[in-house]
Structure 1
Amino acid sequence: MFRNYFKIAWRNLWKNKLQTGINLLGLTVGTVCCLSILIYVIAQFGYDQQFEDSSSIYRIKTVIDENENTNPSAGTSPPIAFAMKEDFPEVSEVCRIVYFGEGNESLVRVSDSDEAYYESRGYLADSTFFKLFNYPFIEGKPEGALNAPNSIVLSKTLAKKLFGTKKALNETLVLGSGEEEQTLRIKGVFEDDFGKTHLNPNYILTMNSGGTGERVIEIQNFATQNFVLSYLKLAPGASAEALESKLPSFLQQHGAKDLAAVGFNKSLFLQKLNDIHLYSKGIRNQIDKVSDINYLYILLILALFIQLVACINFINLSTARANKRAKEIGVRKAIGANKGTLIRQFLGESILLSLFASVISIPLTALALPFLNILTEGNIDYSALFDLKILASILSLGILTGFIAGLYPAIILSGIKPIKVLKGSVSLNLGSGNLRKGLVVFQFVVSIGLISSVIIITQQVKHSQRMDMGFNKDNLIAVRLGTQQVSENFNATKSNFETVIGVTEVSGSNHYPSEFIMGDMGLTIPGGNPADQTLVHYDGISPNYLNTVGTSLLIGRTLRTNDSIQVLVNKATIDAFNIPLNKAVGSKLLQTYEGEVDEFEIVGVTGNYHFASLKEEIAPVLLFNETQPGWIILKAETQNYEALLNKLESSWKIINPNTPFDYTFVYKEVEKLYAEEKRLGKISVVFTSLAILISCLGLFGLVSFVAEQKKKEISIRKVLGASVQNVVRLLSKDFLSLVGIAFIIASPLAYYIMQKWLQDFPYRITIEWWVFMIAVIVALIITLLTVSFQAIKAAIANPVKSLRTE
């Protein structure tokens, strides 16, 4: 029986080549889109599940409430984690991590070598790290690897880079230079290809070391210094919800005095380890790049709409051609076929076609995978296509698509009365049915909505690109000083750079323009309540900094080399303290900490400038005089950057012969501030284009059938004097009216959805009416081009061929 169904299905599909080809192409394109999105989305799930008892591990999240602003952070104050372990028996283990992140790379070299490298993703961690995160060890053992002072473990990748094929275990290496130089003993090498995780250390240094580790251990303040990432593991049977409910009283017990001193409120929450990658939107101080579950939902909805458009094409073409199969159905019913048998037959045809499209989509998706990785900035391997989840998804998608696309046509076709068919009196007239029109309207709603959304997203990205950043990002090069020793050579290195032809300005700062300034402190004005402080970020700069980066000075003077308590602030700072601009110079700001008061004198006010995501408003910033900055910032005017960089490296090596010349172009760093929106815009353009292509295929098939149905009418009209334009108008008018209906539905929907999306941007565009007019005009042009091709073909056909049988 199944073999017979298959034969009939194959013959019918082969007989109607145009309809089969259009359906197959539409379903294949839709399935490739769905499969591509599905692979990317699935790749974003399953993070951190490879760790033992991962469901019992949580990260402590801090939320600071200050001046009616809520600032969630992945960091906590240093003493919180171990205090929780002491107070709560349900906490079995804790670990703290200090992240030496991107932009804060450390200089690493093997002890007996002069060749050094800047290495990122360095962690400073408690000795309990491997009790929570069971990385497999290639050399050494995780037990006790971080117990001894000055111990370090390396990733397999870094160990191979430093030692090649030699064993790294028990060898020594040097981290940093000058006064910050540390000689460390390698206690292990761990496998860094250990599944998907938000923890991707290149090396892990024990907290039982000098410098930052010693500082972390000594800090006992429960309110400030929220730069430590704290993790805990619950004891078996313990409830995270119950523990979280105890945290307000815990924080009040240990940190009431500290919180009162800084003047802001603070709350602690527990975040599941497995939720960190997808549910960390808006949380600052992340240890690695995270995704956004809402962004994935948008992609899945986009995939759903594309597949629905392909299904609608199938339904429309199948119902439109129902009359073609009326006699077949009548005969089959007359010889005993029941409605269920016919439904199974027609569903089998649609599922067969859909499964065929699914099979074709696998190699096509494999070919498109490199482009998909570029588009999504992912790193999806070909093996992902053959993951059991993906293969099961492809099979399910094929069956489900075939079922949805074929169900309605199967029900309609199986309901034909055989007696009417055999008498020759049946006329289904499904080509003009309201359902078909409704489905076409749905296609146009999707197309117009997607076109409108793409225009709005593109506008917002361009608005971000054109936005005044508060500094001139073009022609700026940031050169990393990186170590204490090299920072001490700042003036000598700066002097050398100033002599290089093509360099117009040179200065220094602790952060390059657009780099997030993590450091902040609570400040008040004289006479203000010490408990009512305002958080202000702080950054060190050299005197020529403003002139180099192009940040405006609104009032006052710039910093001088002998300034100590004298500072610059941005406009957002004086606004936060309600200080008028004309009274800002000479005003004082106070920092009160543990009874001690530090005073800063404002000598100038700069314009506001961005140093964080464009989804955040510009925060207050204080700039102080820095004699040993972390970066040299230089402005260049040249047509040959390669030659300029070679000259700069040569000048660098004169002063710093054993330190790598490491630089970045500031405009590239600025682009990272709106990279997510730019990526979403590219994805939207590509998949919207494919959705429109699928819609055009459906329109092409429908118009082909309508033209065939009306060929005698068209021939008679031509004989009576109708022009080509008349015929085109006859076949186009119904479809153009459907575009108008879709425009009325799609415009308010797209406006509402995009207005919600834009709410994340404090600096956003206003949605204009002409966006939707462009969308509907594009839809009309696409419709006219698609319809006109078949309409003109029908209009110029010889009417004699259609009328000679009459």
Structure 2
Amino acid sequence: MFKNYFKIAWRNLQKNKLQSSINLLGLTVGTVCCLSILTYVIAQFGYDKQFEDASSIYRLKTVIDENDNGNPSAGTSPPIAFAMKEDFPEVAEVCRLVYFGEGNEGLLRVTNSDEAYYEPRGYLADSTFFKLFDYPFIEGKAEGALNRPNSIVLSETLSKKLFGNKKALNKTLTLGSGEEQQTLTIKGVFKDDFGKTHLNPNYILTMNSGGTGERVMEIENFATQNFVLSYIKLKSGANPRHLESKLSGFLQKHGAKDLAAVGFSKSLYLQKISDIHLYSKGIRNQIGTISDINYIYTLLILALFIQLVACINFINLSTARANKRAKEIGVRKAIGADKGTLVRQFLGESVLLSLFSSVISLPLTALALPFVNTLTEGGISYSALFDWKILAALLTLGTLTGIIAGLYPAIILSGIKPVKVLKGSINLNLGSGNLRKTLVVFQFVVSIGLISSVIIITQQVKHSQKMDMGYNQDNLIAVRLGTQQASESFQAIQSKFKTVNGVSEVSGSNHYPSEFILGDLGLTLPGGNPADQTLVHYDGVSPNYLKTVGTSLLTGRTLRTNDSIQVLVNKATIDAFNIPLDKAVGSKLIQTYEGEVDEFEIVGVTDNYHFASLKEEVAPMLLFNEIWPGWIILKAETQEYEALLSNLEGSWKTMNPNTPFVYTFVDKEVEKLYAEEKRLGKISVVFTSLAILISCLGLFGLISFVAEQKKKEIGIRKVLGASVQNVVRLLTKDFLKLVGIAFVIASPLAYYVMQKWLQDFPYRITIEWWVFIIAGGFAVTLTLLTVGFQAIKAAIANPVKSLRTE
């Protein structure tokens, strides 16, 4: 029976080559889109689940309730984790991490080697790290690897980079320079392809060492210094929500005095580690790259719409050609075929075509994978396409698509009464029915909605990129000093760089423009309540910093080399303290911390500038005079960057021969702040184009059928004097009406959805009416091009050929 179904299905597909080709192309393009999106989406799941007892491991989140607008942070105060282990019997183990983020990587070199590297993804960790995260070791043992002071473990990748194929165990490395330089002993090498994780360490240094680790272990304040990542592992059967409900009392027990001293309240929450990658939107101080579940949902909805558009093509073409198969159905029912047999036959045809398109789509997706990786920055491997989940999804997608696309035509066609068909008295006329019109309208709604969304996303990205950041990012280069020796030689390096041809200004700062500034101070006005503080971010800069980066000074003076308590603040700071601009110079700000009082004198007010993404409003900022900055910021006045960077590196090497020359272009770093939006924009453009292509294929097939169906009518009209324009208008007017209906439906829907998306941007565009006019006009143009071609072809055909049998 199934063999017979297959033969009949294959013959019908061959008999109707145009319809079969359009359906096959539409389904294949749709399936390639869906498969590409599904491969990326599936790769975003499964993070951190490879660890033993991963379901019992949680990261603590901190919310500073009043002065930080309730924004959660991934960091906590250092003593919290181990205090929880002491207070709560359900906590089996804890571990703290300090992440050496971008711009703060330690300078690492093999002992007695001249080559040094700024290695990313380095961590300070408690000795309990491998009790929570069971990385497999290829050298040494996880147990006790971080127990001894100055111990370090390396990833397999870093070990090969430093030692090649030689053993790294018990060899020594030097981290940092100057007074903070440490000699470390390698106590193990772990596999770093263990699985997907938000941690992804390159090396792990024991907390039980000098420098930052020592400071972390000495901090006892439960309110401030929320820069430590704290993880807890619960005992079997422990209820995380019950534990979370007790954290408020826990903080009051240990930190009430500390919180009162800084003037804000604070809350702690638990986040399952397997949720971190996809459910951390809005959480600050993340480590590594995270995704967003809403972004994933958006991609899945996009894939669903594209596949639905392909299914609609199939339904439209199948119902439009129902009359062609009416006699076949009548004969088969007359000789005993029941309705169920016919439904299975027609479903078999659609499923066969859909599965065939799925088979074709797999190698096509493999060919498109480099482009997909560039588009999504997903890093998907070819082997991922042959993962059982992907293959199962492909089989399911092909089967469901075939069933969805073929079910309605199968039910309609199988319900035909054989007597009427064989008498020649039936005319289904489904080609112009209400269902077909509804489905075509849906296609246009999707197309117009996607076009509108692409325009709005592109506008917002361009608005963010072109918006005045408060500084001039063009031709701005940041060179990392990195070591204590280089920072202490800042004045000499600055003077050396000033002599390099193509450099107009040189200054220094602890953070380059657009680099996130974590540090903040709780400040009050003189005589203010120390418990009612305002958080102000701070950065150290050299006196000519404003001139170098192009930030305006609204009043007062710039910093001087002998300034100590004198500071610059931005306008957001004086607004936060309600200080009038004309009275700002000479005003004082007070920091009270653990009984000590520090005073800052405002000597100048700068215009607001964005030291973070435009997704955040400008926050209060204080600039102080820094004599040992972490970065050199220079302004270039040449486009010959290759020669400029070569000369800068030459000057650098004369003064720092054993320190790498590391630089970044500030405008490129600013672009990274909007990488997710740009990526979404590019994905939307590509897949919108493909959705429109599929829709146009369906329109082409429909107009081909309509033109054939009205062939004799057109011939009669032409004999009676109808012009080509009259015939083209006859064939296109119904489609243009459907575009108009779709425009009315799609415009408010797209407006609502994009307004919700724009809410994430404090500096956002206003959606203009003309966006939807352009989208609708584009849809009309595509319709006219697609439908018009076949309409003109039918209109100029010789009427004698269509009427000669009459």
Length-normalised TM-score, structure 1: 1.00
Q: Which residue of 2 aligns with 1:259?
A: 259
SS in 2 for 1:70: coil
Hey, what's the Cα distance between the residues in 2 that align with 1:493 and 1:450? 53
How big is the shift at 1:654? Answer: 1.1
How big is the shift at 1:69? Answer: 1.2
SS in 1 for 2:204: strand
Q: Which residue of 2 aligns with 1:339?
A: 339
| Conserved 8 A contact 1:64-1:70 | yes
1:533-566 per-residue CA deviation (whole Å, 9 max, x = no partner) reads: 1111110000010000001111110000000000
Hey, what's the Cα distance between the residues in 2 that align with 1:690 and 1:532? 56
Matched residue type, 2:399: I
Q: Which residue of 1 aligns with 2:64?
A: 64
How big is the shift at 1:672? Answer: 0.9
1:602 aligns with 2:607: no
Matched residue type, 2:288: D
How big is the shift at 1:310? Answer: 0.3
Q: Which residue of 2 aligns with 1:514?
A: 514
Q: Which residue of 2 aligns with 1:669?
A: 669
Matched residue type, 1:533: Q
Q: Which residue of 2 aligns with 1:350?
A: 350
1:802 aligns with 2:802: yes
Q: Which residue of 2 aligns with 1:134?
A: 134
SS in 1 for 2:540: strand
| Conserved 8 A contact 1:179-1:485 | no
Hey, what's the Cα distance between the residues in 2 that align with 1:561 and 1:384? 57
Q: Which residue of 1 aligns with 2:285?
A: 285
SS in 2 for 1:757: helix
Matched residue type, 2:202: N
Hey, what's the Cα distance between the residues in 2 that align with 1:536 and 1:179? 30
How big is the shift at 1:166? Answer: 1.1
How big is the shift at 1:122? Answer: 0.7
SS in 2 for 1:471: coil
Q: Which residue of 2 aligns with 1:112?
A: 112
How big is the shift at 1:68? Answer: 7.2
Hey, what's the Cα distance between the residues in 2 that align with 1:272 and 1:587? 46
Q: Which residue of 2 aligns with 1:557?
A: 557
SS in 2 for 1:554: strand
Matched residue type, 1:148: R
SS in 1 for 2:195: coil
Hey, what's the Cα distance between the residues in 1 that align with 2:166 and 2:428? 79
How big is the shift at 1:417? Answer: 0.6
Hey, what's the Cα distance between the residues in 2 that align with 1:135 and 1:68? 36
Matches within 5 A, 1:99-498: 99-498=99-498
1:566-619 per-residue CA deviation (whole Å, 9 max, x = no partner) reads: 000111111111111111111111110011110000001111111222211111
1:59-108 per-residue CA deviation (whole Å, 9 max, x = no partner) reads: 00001112471121000000000000000000000000000011111111
Matched residue type, 2:696: C
1:261-291 per-residue CA deviation (whole Å, 9 max, x = no partner) reads: 1111110000001000000000000011100
| Conserved 8 A contact 1:497-1:651 | yes
Length-normalised TM-score, structure 2: 1.00
Structure 2: any 5+ residue segments left out of the alignment? none
Hey, what's the Cα distance between the residues in 1 that align with 2:105 and 2:98? 13
How big is the shift at 1:721? Answer: 1.3
1:545 aligns with 2:545: yes
Hey, what's the Cα distance between the residues in 2 that align with 1:223 and 1:639? 49
Matched residue type, 1:157: T
Matched residue type, 2:28: T
Higher alpha-carbon deviation: 111-120 or 16-25: 111-120
Hey, what's the Cα distance between the residues in 2 that align with 1:252 and 1:639? 58
Hey, what's the Cα distance between the residues in 2 that align with 1:596 and 1:569? 22
Hey, what's the Cα distance between the residues in 1 that align with 2:383 and 2:280? 28
| Conserved 8 A contact 1:150-1:185 | yes
Hey, what's the Cα distance between the residues in 2 that align with 1:315 and 1:207? 64
| Conserved 8 A contact 1:571-1:605 | yes
Question: What's the % identity of the aligned pairs?
Answer: 86
Hey, what's the Cα distance between the residues in 1 that align with 2:125 and 2:287? 13
Hey, what's the Cα distance between the residues in 1 that align with 2:723 and 2:634? 70
SS in 1 for 2:174: strand
Higher alpha-carbon deviation: 719-728 or 45-54: 719-728
Q: Which residue of 2 aligns with 1:27?
A: 27
Matched residue type, 2:95: C
Hey, what's the Cα distance between the residues in 2 that align with 1:512 and 1:301? 39
SS in 1 for 2:313: helix
Hey, what's the Cα distance between the residues in 1 that align with 2:612 and 2:265? 23
Q: Which residue of 2 aligns with 1:697?
A: 697
| Conserved 8 A contact 1:106-1:175 | yes
Q: Which residue of 1 aligns with 2:73?
A: 73
How big is the shift at 1:639? Answer: 2.4
Q: Which residue of 2 aligns with 1:535?
A: 535
Q: Which residue of 1 aligns with 2:39?
A: 39
Hey, what's the Cα distance between the residues in 2 that align with 1:71 and 1:29? 42
SS in 1 for 2:65: strand
Matched residue type, 1:239: N
Hey, what's the Cα distance between the residues in 2 that align with 1:309 and 1:135? 46
Moved over 6 A (4+): none
SS in 1 for 2:639: coil
1:185-214 per-residue CA deviation (whole Å, 9 max, x = no partner) reads: 000011111110001111100000001000
SS in 1 for 2:246: helix
Hey, what's the Cα distance between the residues in 2 that align with 1:406 and 1:706? 21
Matched residue type, 2:495: S
Hey, what's the Cα distance between the residues in 1 that align with 2:200 and 2:66? 32
Q: Which residue of 1 aligns with 2:588?
A: 588
How many positions carry a matched residue from both structures?
A: 806
SS in 2 for 1:685: helix
1:487-522 per-residue CA deviation (whole Å, 9 max, x = no partner) reads: 111111111000001000000000000000011111
Structure 1: any 5+ residue segments left out of the alignment? none
Hey, what's the Cα distance between the residues in 1 that align with 2:194 and 2:612? 31
SS in 1 for 2:70: strand
| Conserved 8 A contact 1:39-1:384 | yes
Matched residue type, 1:606: T
Hey, what's the Cα distance between the residues in 2 that align with 1:368 and 1:695? 21
| Conserved 8 A contact 1:732-1:787 | yes
Hey, what's the Cα distance between the residues in 1 that align with 2:650 and 2:68? 51
How big is the shift at 1:380? Answer: 0.3
Hey, what's the Cα distance between the residues in 1 that align with 2:639 and 2:300? 45
| Conserved 8 A contact 1:31-1:307 | yes
SS in 2 for 1:69: coil
SS in 1 for 2:744: helix
1:155-208 per-residue CA deviation (whole Å, 9 max, x = no partner) reads: 111111111111100000100111111000000011111110001111100000
1:720-763 per-residue CA deviation (whole Å, 9 max, x = no partner) reads: 11111111100000000000000110000000000000000000
Hey, what's the Cα distance between the residues in 2 that align with 1:237 and 1:351? 47
1:213-238 per-residue CA deviation (whole Å, 9 max, x = no partner) reads: 00000000000000000000001110
How big is the shift at 1:432? Answer: 1.1
Q: Which residue of 2 aligns with 1:738?
A: 738
Hey, what's the Cα distance between the residues in 2 that align with 1:455 and 1:169? 56
Hey, what's the Cα distance between the residues in 2 that align with 1:723 and 1:567? 81
Hey, what's the Cα distance between the residues in 2 that align with 1:591 and 1:191? 46
Q: Which residue of 1 aligns with 2:623?
A: 623
Matched residue type, 1:635: K
Hey, what's the Cα distance between the residues in 2 that align with 1:92 and 1:254? 20
Hey, what's the Cα distance between the residues in 2 that align with 1:552 and 1:685? 38
| Conserved 8 A contact 1:66-1:534 | no
SS in 2 for 1:221: coil
